[in-house]
Amino acid sequence: MKRLLILGFLLPLIPARADTILVLPFFNESSTPNASNLDWIGESIAHTISQGLVSRGLLVLEREDRAEVYRRLSIRPNAHLTNASVIKVGEALDASRVVYGNFEVTPAPGGGDASRGRIRIRAFTLDMARMRKGPEFLESGPLEELAQLQSHLAWRVLSSLAPELAPSAEQFLAEHPPVRLDAMENYTRGLLSTNPEQKHRFFTQAHRLDERSSEPAFELGRLYWSKKEYRLAAGWLARVKPNSPRYSEATFLIGLCRYFTGDYRGAQAAFEIVAERVPLNEVFNNLGAALSRQNRPEALEAFRKALEGDPGNPDFHFNVGYVLWKQGQFDAAADSFRAALDRNPEDTEATTFLGRCLAKTGPRQNFRPSEGAERVKLNFEEGAYRQLKAALEGRKRN
């Protein structure tokens, strides 16, 4: 299970972790024929609430974490959880608060085609520390207005959990404009699917039906990224809007796509944008790699920032040593390669470069930066930064 990581050198300064929120899929209580075809709505409600909370800086556990715990506890994805099961899942994920609920869709009177029916959504919050349930939130209206109902529910949950972070309802809804119902359905079915081809079909259809939403574009970008089709991935990821909670991650992946296609200046620009928003070690490291491939002297500073954030990472030591070696600072480079080997004795490449440093052998005369040995990081732990930021802000308030 993916864990939220805290920047290592600051961990001892934090007295307690920041609160984390778990949003569970809402259970389908509809009694209409083929009611199971509406199960996707429960995931859609949970996703909308999660994204609404994340957009205001709250720490929300990932779907992958929740799915892993469901598997471990042998809970079916669409199961109706008892209060005891809600608590059990919350404890397994070390959540501070749990958001859960149910929904019911009723057919339109007379069975006409003018409406797909009405939906009634009930939501609850649970304080895990006090084992105390919060107020009930109720939203109801035409099914066609599901997007508005979900967003308004997300605002109400946000206002309950963190009133100091909640804007007015009007502002929040303006920041989360409604998406067509059929686009939402395709997008959510794409999230739920385990087949890459089906995911691609659902996300493509969702984007075609409503291009205002960044989320299908982000997921399509990730699919192409996983297949190493970097230019196609970058094209989709570039459609993610700056106000999207996925914008920083999308831009990080754009930087990697450009890096792997040899556009080092473009990669630098992408990583600089991310570094301003989410100053993570991996971002500074990759920025250093993009600068190093351009033979820019600022590469060393960027690599050192990454190393300051995580002195235990052998790749960060290697990258500092590599830039120093290219600059002919063989003694200092040798120290960095030794540090890398202290942390990973089986690093044969670091051993090779250490030997070159000891022999005072620099790059060959026709060496090209694109042939470099810089090491980039593929992970993007934005949750780590938000965890750290929230914990430090809590420390200041205390």
Distance CA 254, CA 260 (A): 10
Name the token pair of 365.
């005369």
Does residue 13 register a pLDDT over 60?
no
Question: What is the domain partition of the chain in residue ranges?
Answer: 8-107+117-178, 281-379
Q: For residue 19, what pLDDT is reported?
A: 83
The count of other CB atoms within 10 Å of the CB of residue 205 is 17
Does residue 68 register a pLDDT over 50?
yes
CATH number of 281-379: 1.25.40.10
pLDDT category of residue 267 using cuts at 50, 70 and 90:
very high
Nearest to 320 by CA among 296, 285, 368: 285
Distance CA 36, CA 334 (A): 63
Enclosing H/E stretch for 157: helix 146-161
3-state SS, residue 152:
helix
Does residue 286 register a pLDDT over 50?
yes
Q: For residue 3, what pLDDT is reported?
A: 37
pLDDT category of residue 34 using cuts at 50, 70 and 90:
confident
Nearest to 93 by CA among 122, 73, 123: 73
Q: State the Cα angle at 122 between 173 and 216, rounded to 5°.
A: 45
278: left (phi over 0), alpha (psi -120 to 50) or beta: beta
pLDDT per residue as tens digits for the range 139-179: 999 999 999 999 999 999 999 999 999 999 999 999 999 99
pLDDT per residue as tens digits for the range 188-205: 999 999 999 999 999 999
Q: For residue 112, what pLDDT is reported?
A: 52
Asked which of 75-89, 117-131, 241-255, 376-390 is least confident by mean pLDDT, the reply is: 376-390
Name the token pair of 110.
């007379």
Q: For residue 383, what pLDDT is reported?
A: 72
Q: For residue 391, what pLDDT is reported?
A: 60
pLDDT category of residue 393 using cuts at 50, 70 and 90:
low
Distance, first Cα to last Cα, the chain: 31
Asked which of 43-52, 324-333, 374-383 is least confident by mean pLDDT, the reply is: 374-383
pLDDT category of residue 107 using cuts at 50, 70 and 90:
confident
Nearest to 35 by CA among 86, 110, 105, 137: 105
Mean pLDDT of the chain: 90
Q: For residue 166, what pLDDT is reported?
A: 94
- Beta-bridge partner residues of 105: 119
Q: For residue 11, what pLDDT is reported?
A: 40
pLDDT category of residue 390 using cuts at 50, 70 and 90:
low
pLDDT category of residue 396 using cuts at 50, 70 and 90:
low
Highest mean pLDDT among 40-44, 78-82, 366-370: 40-44
**CATH 3.30.565.10 applies to domain 8-107+117-178:** no
Asked which of 14-18, 94-98, 328-332, 388-392 is least confident by mean pLDDT, the reply is: 14-18
Higher pLDDT, 176 or 255: 255
pLDDT category of residue 265 using cuts at 50, 70 and 90:
very high
The count of other CB atoms within 10 Å of the CB of residue 14 is 17
3-state SS, residue 275:
helix
Q: For residue 368, what pLDDT is reported?
A: 81
Does residue 382 register a pLDDT over 60?
yes
Does residue 249 register a pLDDT over 80?
yes
Distance CA 246, CA 237 (A): 10
Highest mean pLDDT among 26-35, 104-113, 269-278: 269-278
pLDDT per residue as tens digits for the range 205-242: 999 999 988 999 999 999 999 999 999 999 999 999 99
Q: For residue 4, what pLDDT is reported?
A: 35
pLDDT category of residue 377 using cuts at 50, 70 and 90:
very high
Q: Could you check whether 8-107+117-178 and 281-379 share the same CATH topology?
A: no
